[in-house]
């Protein structure tokens, strides 16, 4: 059973893609709705809350957990991998969404780093993300290490996660996203590509698609992450388990209050249980 963690319901976009790519796998999802969103939290809080939720998934029988939250992956993943897992859970693994996205944006494997300089920047990519992800500089730093020819332009989208979780209607959602996209297009009018660097944002992908130029490629984070995990499992057979394709959803909040998914996701991804039942 593979664990999938997100600060709320946004990670369901990743879970849906994982299930489609690996229908034989069992998945256990945990959304930390009681503490969402993570964007305004301190780094210390994000690390602590992420660790607690990962530990819950470990305790429920998951040996491998995917951080489907860009903020958690950008802020907490390295600390968990380097300082916590080797001591507490040496035989378990935590992966994030940042690594496969950086590889997709740069075309360079994660293990390869190149110094800045050399080839001039001839490709522009927009990154729409939460304020915390942008402030962490994780995407920008890692892209610069590997692909000096890529100009990554980051745009924080404050309030968008709240709007999605709250089920905002068409007009306010369109206005919010048109505003974010319009601001960045004023500086980069013809970007080559754009990526939605928050797992909530693919839920409103169509709004971004309409707001962006038709020539701008809109990269799919869920599909990229799903392919990356499938490749990882092919290389690490110890984390592959035969299952029945079962999906179970847990929340740290009140299940009856987790209603956002009703508007955007299929029936199988709508029914949450209390996380204490893990």
Predicted confidence (pLDDT) per residue in 169-218, tens digit? 899 999 999 999 999 999 999 999 999 998 889 989 999 999 999 999 99
* Residue 72, preceding peptide bond in cis (omega within 30° of 0): no
Residue 71 in marked binding region: yes
Top-confidence residue, 266 or 258: 258
Given a contact cutoff of 8 angstroms between Cβ atoms, the answer to whether 155 and 188 are in contact is no
Residues 6+ apart with CB under 8 A from 253: 31, 33, 34, 36
* Helix/strand/coil percentages in the chain, nearest 5: 50, 15, 35
pTM of the shown model = 0.87
Return the pLDDT at 165: 77
> Is residue 269's pLDDT more than 50?
yes
Residue where the block lists tokens 């610069």:
144
Top-confidence residue, 15 or 238: 15
**Residue of 146, 153, 154 lying closest to 116 (CA atoms):** 146
**Residue of 214, 168, 166, 221 lying closest to 191 (CA atoms):** 214
Q: Which domains does the chain have, with CATH numbers?
A: 2-96+222-277 (3.40.50.1860), 100-221 (3.40.50.1860)
Beta bridge partners of 67: 5, 96
- Could you give phi then psi for residue 181, rounded to 5 degrees? -65, -40
Return the pLDDT at 95: 97
> Is residue 250's pLDDT more than 90?
yes
Residue 170 in marked binding region: no
Q: What is the DSSP string of 239-259?
A: G-------EEEEESS-GGG--
Residue where the block lists tokens 């409103």:
204
Reported as a pLDDT band with limits 50, 70 and 90, residue 16 is very high
Q: What is the mean pLDDT of the chain?
A: 90
Please work out, in degrees rounded to the nearest 5, the angle formed at the alpha carbon of residue 110 by the alpha carbons of 123 and 77. 110
CA-based R_g, the chain, Å: 18
Return the pLDDT at 164: 86
Q: Cα separation of 28 and 236, whole Å?
A: 19
Residue 199 in marked binding region: yes
pLDDT single digits (tens) 104-159: 998 888 877 765 555 666 889 999 999 989 999 999 999 998 888 899 999 999 99
Q: Where in the sequence numbering do the catalytic residues fall?
A: 69, 198
Residue 38 in marked binding region: yes
Please work out, in degrees rounded to the nearest 5, the angle formed at the alpha carbon of residue 99 by the alpha carbons of 103 and 63. 135
E-state strands within 80-208: 93-96, 123-129, 150-156, 193-196
Exposed (0-12), middle (13-18) or buried (19+): which is 96, by Cβ within 10 Å?
buried
Return the pLDDT at 261: 47
């Amino acid at each position: 059973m593979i664990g999938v963690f997100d600060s709320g319901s946004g990670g369901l976009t990743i879970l849906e893609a994982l299930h489609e790519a690996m229908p034989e796998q069992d998945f256990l999802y945990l959304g930390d709705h009681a503490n969402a969103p993570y964007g305004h939290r301190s780094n210390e809080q994000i690390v602590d809350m992420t660790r607690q939720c990962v530990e819950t998934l470990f305790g429920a029988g998951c040996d491998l957990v995917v951080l489907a939250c860009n903020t958690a992956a950008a802020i907490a993943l390295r600390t968990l991998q380097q300082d916590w897992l080797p001591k507490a859970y040496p035989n378990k693994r935590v992966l994030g969404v940042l690594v496969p996205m950086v590889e997709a944006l740069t075309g360079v494997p994660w293990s390869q780093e190149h110094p800045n300089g050399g080839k001039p920047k001839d490709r522009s990519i927009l990154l729409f993300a939460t304020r915390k992800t942008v402030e962490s500089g994780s995407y920008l730093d890692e892209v610069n290490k590997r692909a000096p020819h890529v100009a990554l332009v980051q745009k924080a989208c404050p309030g968008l996660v709240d709007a999605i979780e709250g089920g905002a209607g068409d007009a306010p959602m369109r206005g919010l996203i048109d505003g974010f996209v319009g601001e960045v297009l004023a500086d980069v009018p013809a970007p080559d590509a754009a990526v939605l660097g928050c797992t909530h944002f693919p839920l409103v992908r169509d709004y971004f698609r309409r707001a962006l130029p038709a020539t701008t490629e809109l990269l799919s984070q869920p599909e990229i992450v799903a392919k990356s995990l499938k490749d990882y499992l092919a290389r690490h057979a110890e984390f592959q388990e035969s299952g029945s394709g079962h999906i179970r959803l847990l929340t740290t909040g009140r299940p009856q209050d987790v209603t956002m998914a009703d508007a955007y996701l299929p029936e199988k991804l709508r029914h949450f249980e209390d996380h204490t039942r893990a």
